[in-house]
């Protein structure tokens, strides 16, 4: 086997290696580079340990460099191995992208679709999404992951998620938004609150109300704070953050601890659980937020996702939202 050569120089004969590495050899090397353990690497890619070790050795011979330093206790990457591990990963990623594109062209709405959904959307829109997929796309294996916006965007960028359903705008590079609808915010309060039942509450009412919000990390919290700032709410006005989810939030409201803002699609579900709650609607123009699908820009399944967005707009017509019928012109 060739000795370690950090500069990736050819063998002493001066000739470049004549054999091309195989994909199985690259997969074996990438697995060892990730796990730094032959047994774990072999288990990760479903290969026997002797076969994996042989594949890495053959790759080293084909490339003319030592990639792995083997000791009795651990496995280390040589300097050449550290450099070439990045190249091997890029080759395998490119192959995965090629296979994804071929599958998408061959059979849209089949295979796995990993959908990320934020917590303030999931309970209220998933019934519509799941019903649509079941009825119109029966061969699509929809896998739902509930995550906050930052985590979902990271998953989309890394390829862990294929598509997101969340509030926009995101302002994230490399992400294309497919708008679905706009929805108003509703003021939720205890049943004996003076604003309960009103249909023309001015935004200025938010300036001094004791406001309950979700914990840090929820985009709904940021949207609510933006609305309050637009209404002239000062930094000194009381804001209590005590809830990790909307269900807990509205129960705190029912207990008289303050008021909160809910997207209109959540109102029926969340206020229906407690008769001690009342709602009020803002005067036009009411504060709103937009919900959209988001995909990687240039995704191989872009046409498929655009078709899905169009189908979702149609399916969401009965909901208390304003569907974005012409997103390109909006």
Helix (H), strand (E), coil (C) string for the chain: CCCCCCCCCCCCCCCCCCCCCCHHHHHHHHHHHHHCCHHHHHHHHCCCHHHHHHHHHHHHHHHCCCCEEECCCCEEECHHHHHHHHHHHHHHHHHHHHHHHHHHHHCCCCEEEEEEECCCCHHHHHHHHHHHHHHHCCCEEEEEEECCHHHHHHHHHHCCCCEEEEEECCCCCCEEEEEEEEEEEEEEEECCCCCCCCCCECHHHHHCCCEEEECCCCHHHHHHHHHHHHCCCCCCCCEEEEECCHHHHHHHHHCCCCEEEEEHHHHHHHHCCCCCEEEEEECCCCCEEEEEEEEECCCCCHHHHHHHHHHHHHHCCCCCCEECCCHHHC
How many angstroms separate the CA atoms of 199 and 281, rounded? 5
Residues of the chain with CATH 1.10.10.10: 23-105
Q: Tell me the average confidence (pLDDT) per consecutive run of 10 residues in the chain, 330 residues long.
A: 41 54 92 90 91 93 90 84 92 87 74 92 94 94 93 93 93 93 91 86 82 68 70 59 76 86 88 85 88 94 94 95 74
| Nearest alpha-carbon partner for 24 in 51, 61, 62, 63 | 51
pLDDT of residue 110: 84
The answer to whether the bond into 114 is cis (omega within 30° of 0) is no
pLDDT of residue 129: 96
CATH of 23-105, one of 1.10.275.10, 1.10.3720.10, 1.10.630.10, 1.10.10.10: 1.10.10.10
Token pair in block for residue 270: 């969340």
Q: In this structure, which topology does domain 182-288 adopt according to CATH?
A: D-Maltodextrin-Binding Protein; domain 2 (3.40.190)
pLDDT of residue 203: 83
pLDDT of residue 232: 61
How many angstroms separate the CA atoms of 63 and 83, rounded? 13
| Nearest alpha-carbon partner for 279 in 288, 291, 287, 267 | 267
pLDDT of residue 102: 75
How many angstroms separate the CA atoms of 282 and 205, rounded? 10
pLDDT of residue 51: 93
Q: Specify whether the CB–CB gap between 210 and 240 falls below 8 A.
A: yes
Residues of the chain with CATH 3.40.190.10: 119-180+289-329, 182-288
Strand bridging mode 322-323 / 175-190: antiparallel
Class of domain 119-180+289-329: alpha beta
pLDDT of residue 1: 40
How many angstroms separate the CA atoms of 249 and 220, rounded? 12
pLDDT of residue 328: 58
Report angle CA 96, 133, 321 to the nearest 5 degrees: 115
Token pair in block for residue 240: 């209590």
């Amino acid at each position: 086997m060739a000795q370690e050569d950090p500069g990736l120089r050819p063998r002493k004969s001066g000739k470049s290696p004549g054999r091309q590495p195989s994909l199985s050899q690259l997969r074996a090397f990438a697995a060892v580079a990730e796990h730094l353990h032959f047994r774990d690497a072999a288990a990760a890619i479903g290969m026997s340990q002797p076969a994996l070790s042989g594949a890495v050795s053959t790759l080293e011979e084909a490339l003319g460099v030592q990639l792995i330093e083997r000791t009795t206790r651990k496995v280390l990457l040589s300097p050449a191995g550290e450099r070439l591990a990045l190249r091997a990963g890029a080759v395998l990623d490119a192959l995965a992208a090629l296979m994804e594109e071929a599958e998408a062209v061959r059979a849209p709405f089949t295979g796995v679709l990993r959908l990320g959904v934020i917590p303030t959307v999931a309970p209220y829109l998933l019934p519509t999404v799941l019903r649509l997929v079941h009825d119109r796309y029966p061969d699509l294996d929809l896998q739902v992951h509930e995550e906050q916006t930052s985590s979902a965007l990271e998953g989309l960028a890394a390829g862990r998620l294929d598509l997101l359903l969340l509030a926009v705008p995101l302002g994230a590079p490399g992400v294309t938004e497919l708008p679905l609808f706009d929805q108003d915010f509703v003021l939720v309060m205890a049943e004996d609150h003076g604003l309960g039942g009103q249909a023309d509450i001015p935004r200025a009412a938010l300036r001094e109300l004791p406001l309950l919000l979700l914990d840090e990390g929820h985009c709904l919290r940021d949207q609510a704070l933006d609305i309050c700032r637009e209404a002239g709410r000062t930094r000194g006005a009381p804001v209590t953050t005590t809830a990790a989810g909307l269900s807990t939030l509205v129960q705190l409201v029912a207990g008289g601890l303050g008021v909160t803002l809910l997207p209109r699609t959540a109102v029926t579900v969340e206020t229906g659980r407690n008769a001690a709650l009342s709602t009020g609607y803002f005067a036009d123009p009411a504060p709103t937020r937009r919900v959209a699908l988001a995909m990687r820009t240039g995704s191989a399944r872009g046409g498929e996702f655009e078709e899905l967005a169009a189908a979702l707009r149609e399916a969401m017509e009965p909901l208390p939202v304003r569907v974005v019928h012409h997103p390109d012109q909006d």
